[in-house]
Structure 1
């Protein structure tokens, strides 16, 4: 799902050159230099990161290169995204599976070994833990502070609109505070590359911000609203047969438990479908044929491109007729691990509501060629159907 460097846009290629120059200039700095790459979901951030990392690993094997013999790692705190990078490594003889890791084992091992790497890349850096987490065997204050001493250069890919847990809550102000005293350069990717029509992306941006606008009628993108889950399921199966990589995904508004053998379900109108299960294989969830009968979540789809996404908006998202706006109710959001209380947050409810909006934004922007929507709450469903006319 990650395109080769030859397929990068002009904006991405210019950024790749700039990043490599930054690394060359700062590769021997004692105080860690940091490059921060911003961009919306689908703007091609991971593609640039992959291209730069692959170039760096290739040049590390060339004795006459200015970037020779560097020791580098790429980290991502998301199981399914890590599998995508492992697939990239399997296709390139100069890349290794061990080049790609999750932050916690990398931090713990490098800290124990007193080892400093040359360049550490962090994809989905907004998923770095911003507090201690015994469940993940991380006992330092936060993962960014723990990472900085472990590399001469750190490259962070950040989208604050994809923060999905309080324990990994990051804001622009927090990032600036933690990077104080470091040489910092930043850039932003502004083009929407995943979704093939910018009007659809703009409509989603308005929707998650609360504004419900008439649905655009793009010529090269299919955007539909469904009155029930059954036709949405049939539509996704038709898209899978037509061009592949079509899946059902939902906001984490339906009961589930991560561990155990019980099957948990998503109720979408007249249909009841099983949630995705823990994926112990090396293949990303959406690339496995058997998952066509499941419903994916942010835990299995974040960072992955689908051709068609059938999105089920759960009970936490509703509609206020008086204000004509989307409403968010954190008490109806089932992913309570995302809301594990933090004593350092003054306004938990605002942070919780923001997380739900982020989840909706991530899911609605998965489809490259088509997006189908079913809303569980009748008021929101009726309003969306009216806006589609």
Structure 2
């Protein structure tokens, strides 16, 4: 099996959790032991920015839980536990992990809707349910995916004794899974809730660059950080950026082009759609029917990835194309968003019960940018399609 630790949340064999991650793992175990025998469902919510290592800890904690569940004796022996993730690419990784560990079964890992439907039909509760990428849980009916209720988390809380939920409001990318703090509070108000936050940044290898990204997705362009540990560059054209990505991939691997959803595409046909960045023209990624993560497949070096293929995964170097939906207002020195340019129609499907969809759509667009900009461990390269924004970013490199 290829090394999953290269681009996923799987730790290399010789690596260990950081002290902060180990503390969270212990906190999860203590939460389970303390609350397992109680009659009321308890909820632990783990938050943290993209790249803070949430999935790494969840994987390690679930491994500890399942080892105890499949032991011959002990408090948790024989417990029925599940890890849910509403993300096809990440589910593939979890199921592949299951095939390599004696204490895992592939049935331990599911998408939320099949879990809800199965346990409702059985008329039973799971003991402990872990939810990775909980911000992808649906908050509206989705008949296409056989979910006809109004909130997946509400259903899961009814079908589990304990729930451990990983959640990040800055990674919401669709209206049908759009959460607000008020909605999360309303769904969980009848349950005892414990909160835990991870604050480390395990991906972007320079604190100043991470801060620049945080400001950027809030609409502000701050002075370009000068880093010796992280290669951060702005490009006037996409072709030289792609050439550098190819060089990086040849040298260290896991270097890919990714882009905002500003370029036309369809999912369920065989047509090839393209992304342009100045003189560069590359095809969009396509549905991945293999069991390998998109970035680990050699042929994807010649494609452009999206949030749907890269969310939750790591790159060494990322070449990010910021499409025409992201602009720049020189008078205010602020970023602007043009909702009409965004081509991810699935993300903007109508939500009649959502009061202000314009603000929600703008937040989704900036969340997608945050996800893309925080994929890489060692280097980030940017190209902006909007001329005014490109000029402003290039100005920052000369200061």
Superposed CA offset, 1:92-150 (max 9, x none): 12212221111111111111111211100100101000011111110112101111111
SS in 1 for 2:121: helix
Question: Within the alignment, does 1:35 sit opposite 2:44 as a pair?
Answer: yes
Gaps of 5+ in 2: 1-7
Aligned to 2:136: 127
Compute the displacement of 1:172 (Å). 1.5
For 2:368 and 2:34, the matched residues in 1 are separated by 38
- What is the aligned counterpart of 1:3 among 8, 11, 23? 11
Q: Can you list the C-alpha shifts for 1:342-389, whole angstroms capped at 9, x where unaligned?
A: 111221111100000000000000001110111111111111111122
Are 1:79 and 2:54 counterparts? no
Q: TM-score, normalised by structure 1?
A: 0.98
Query: Cα distance, 1:4 vs. partner?
Result: 5.9
Q: Which residue of 2 aligns with 1:376?
A: 385
How does 1:84-103 map onto structure 2 within 5 Å? 84-103=93-112
2-structure distance, mates of 1:198, 1:87 = 33
Q: Which whole-Å CA distance do the structure 1 matches of 2:58 and 2:104 have between them?
A: 14
- Contact 1:310–1:371 (8 Å) recurs in 2: yes
Alpha-carbon distance in structure 1 between the residues aligned to 2:189 and 2:19: 31
Q: How does 1:37-56 map to 2 (within 5 A)?
A: 37-56=46-65
Aligned to 2:191: 182
Q: CA RMSD in A?
A: 1.1
User: What residue in structure 2 maps to residue 251 of structure 1?
Assistant: 260
Match of 1:60 in 2: 69
1:324-363 → structure 2 map (5 Å cutoff): 324-363=333-372
| Aligned residue in 2 for 1:302 | 311
How many matched pairs? 389
- Residue 46 of structure 1 and its aligned partner are, at CA, apart by 0.4
Q: Secondary structure at the match of 2:346?
A: helix
Aligned runs of 1:211-226 on 2, under 5 Å?
Answer: 211-226=220-235
The 1-side partners of 2:301 and 2:68 are apart by 40
TM-score (norm 2): 0.96
The separation in 1 between residues aligned to 2:112 and 2:16, in whole angstroms, is 29
Structure 1 match to 2:3: none
Q: Give the counterpart of 1:23 among 7, 28, 32.
A: 32
Q: Is the 8 A contact 1:4 1:51 kept in 2?
A: no
The CA distance in 2 between the partners of 1:369 and 1:343, in whole Å, is 42
SS of residue matched to 1:283: coil
Moved more, 356-365 or 329-338: 329-338
**Counterparts of 2:322 and 2:215 in 1: how far apart (Å)?**
16
Q: Distance in 1 between matches of 2:73 and 2:270?
A: 55
**1:281 corresponds to:** 290
Residue 144 of structure 1: aligned partner: 153
**1:292 shift after superposition:** 0.6
Q: 2: CA distance between counterparts of 1:349 and 1:264?
A: 27
- Would you say 1:159 and 2:158 are equivalent positions? no
Distance in 2 of aligned mates of 1:345 and 1:225: 37
Task: Report if the CA contact (8 A) 1:269-1:376 is conserved.
Answer: yes
Q: How far has the Cα of 1:83 moved from its partner?
A: 1.8
Q: Which runs of 5+ in 1 are unaligned?
A: none
Alpha-carbon shift at residue 165 of structure 1 (Å): 0.3
The C-alpha deviation readout for 1:269-302, integer Å capped at 9, x for no partner, is 1111100000011111111111110000011000
Q: Distance in 1 between matches of 2:393 and 2:105?
A: 47
Cα deviation for residue 331 of structure 1 reads 1.0
Whether 1:116 aligns to 2:128 is no
